[in-house]
Structure 1
Amino acid sequence: MRTYNLESHQNEVLEKGFTIINAVFSEKEIEGIIHTIENIDTSKDTFRKSEDLFAIRQFLKEAPESVDSIFIDRIKEIIKDIFGEKYFVVKSIYFDKPEKSNWYVAYHQDLTISVDKKVDLPDFGPWTTKQNQFAVQPPLDVLENIYTLRIHLDHTDEENGALKVISNSHAKGIYRPETIDWTIEKEEICKVERGGVMIMKPLLLHGSNRTTNGKKRRVIHIEFSDIELPEELQWSERMHIM
């Protein structure tokens, strides 16, 4: 396994809104995670399946046997040194973009958090509910505090739906995609090796293109925070892993 300078990656996340660390998981570790996913009961409401996308929401809850395989010492070190010692899981999704996928994702920011119920709170809203799961747009400081860890189970580049991002857009608050000034903004393609991870801030403008090379793109998306919500509200997927 490679050694990496986590301080430089931390600085890159703060400056650009994302960083990529390759060779975090070994081939054997990746195969173990994939084996666990392939043996999950996919009939539940938290699963979304179509020709273009297979997704498992609340992934760590639905596949608890994957927790130890994912949160190996190298990942815990990355979380502690880049995010902070008090960060915990608040959301997890597994995405499988199949070989023939025409699934295209336009530029957007991740503006909602997953919570346990709907309550009227100042500065929380709008609300959405899908399959008895509640999501809400929280105050900006909550969004700015979150880190997203994307674990890549396949080599990902521009031909099979790698994320494309607008560097530093995470520092501009709520930034509507339709207002992007392409004379000053630059798109970057985030190529990540199988077994590598991408760390990003949810307010980073990001999207992805259709797959053109007939190769899969499987990613485990996990969000972390160290913020306590108002006492009436709880993170729906809160999990301490440190």
Structure 2
Amino acid sequence: MYGSHLQNIANNGFTVVDDVFAEDEIRSVLHEISKADANKSTFRKSAGLFAIRQFLKEIPAAKSLIFNAKLKATIAALFGDGYFVVKSIYFDKPEESNWFVAWHQDLTISVDKRTDLPGFGPWTTKQDQFGVQPPLNILEDNFTIRIHLDNADAGNGALKVVPGSHLKGIYRPETIDWDVETETTCEVKAGGIMVMRPLLLHASSRTTNHKPRKVIHIEFSRAGLPVETSWAELGKIQ
């Protein structure tokens, strides 16, 4: 059942799994989000983007809704046991949004404090949250699940990716050779998920079809960190 997805992840760095969430489950998640206090520092609200960092900590009632039987079965089939949540973000890209994201890899992890660690760096700070680039083997083993609460296509900023780029280590966007590489748009229907490796080159365009795109982005790892630091957001797969 999951054989093609395993092959897609290994070769291309991503796969799309349809129908992980039913319409009523999506409505329940959105209902919990609507009750949240948007004045916290982990919330970002503008005309072009609404985002919640540390989403599963800020909206704890959503966790049992998100980790339904099908999502847990998918994670177990694709990655086995031993993984845990290390970052979660909710994105709401409204109909009139002109927000876009340039080509990049997800090279940083979120930790609780900044400290000198061999093999870790450079460091970043965003909304009082520390980020650091860890050793390459951690990034190669991590994975991300993007849960789509709306239909996503090229018109409303579905992710564009460079298949196979996750196998090339640190791949700077300015060095992409478009005579060799190809760009693919990852269309995902509401209730489906996109699974990807963080080293996969990806980007997102502006919305042109006046349709919203709401996504829950969750990163997973099974890596132990040096004792001097800890994951900023750590949670079990329920």
TM-score normalised by structure 1 residue count = 0.97
- Retained in 2: the 8 A contact 1:147–1:224? yes
Q: Deviations over 1:165-184 (max 9, x none)?
A: 00000000000011111111
- What residue in structure 1 maps to residue 216 of structure 2? 220
Q: Deviations over 1:58-103 (max 9, x none)?
A: 0000000100000001111111111221110000000011100001
1:149 correspondence with 2:145: yes
State the 1:133 CA deviation: 1.1
- What residue in structure 1 maps to residue 39 of structure 2? 43
Q: What's the secondary structure of 1:118's corresponding residue? A: coil
State the 1:220 CA deviation: 0.1
1:175 correspondence with 2:190: no
Stretch deviating more after TM superposition (33-42 or 127-136) = 127-136
1:185 correspondence with 2:181: yes
Matched positions, count: 238
Q: What's the secondary structure of 1:149's corresponding residue? A: strand
1:20 correspondence with 2:12: no
Matched residues in 2 for 1:112 and 1:203: separation?
Answer: 10
Residues 81-160 of structure 1 correspond to what in structure 2 (within 5 A)?
81-160=77-156
- What residue in structure 1 maps to residue 55 of structure 2? 59
State the 1:7 CA deviation: 2.5
Counterpart of 1:23 in structure 2: which amino acid? D
Counterpart of 1:92 in structure 2: which amino acid? S
Structure 1 stretches of at least 4 aligned residues deviating more than 2 Å after TM superposition: none
Residues 195-210 of structure 1 correspond to what in structure 2 (within 5 A)?
195-210=191-206
CA RMSD of aligned residues (A): 0.8
Unaligned runs of 5+ in 2: none
State the 1:50 CA deviation: 1.1
State the 1:132 CA deviation: 2.0
Matched residues in 1 for 2:102 and 2:208: separation?
Answer: 17
State the 1:11 CA deviation: 1.7
1:79 correspondence with 2:75: yes
State the 1:241 CA deviation: 1.6
- Retained in 2: the 8 A contact 1:7–1:81? no
Counterpart of 2:52 in structure 1: which amino acid? I
Q: Deviations over 1:177-223 (max 9, x none)?
A: 11111111000000000000000001000001110111100000000
- What residue in structure 2 maps to residue 161 of structure 1? 157
Matched residues in 2 for 1:84 and 1:228: separation?
Answer: 17
Q: What's the secondary structure of 1:159's corresponding residue? A: helix
Matched residues in 2 for 1:137 and 1:226: separation?
Answer: 16
Counterpart of 1:168 in structure 2: which amino acid? G
- What residue in structure 2 maps to residue 241 of structure 1? 237
Counterpart of 2:10 in structure 1: which amino acid? L
Counterpart of 1:142 in structure 2: which amino acid? I
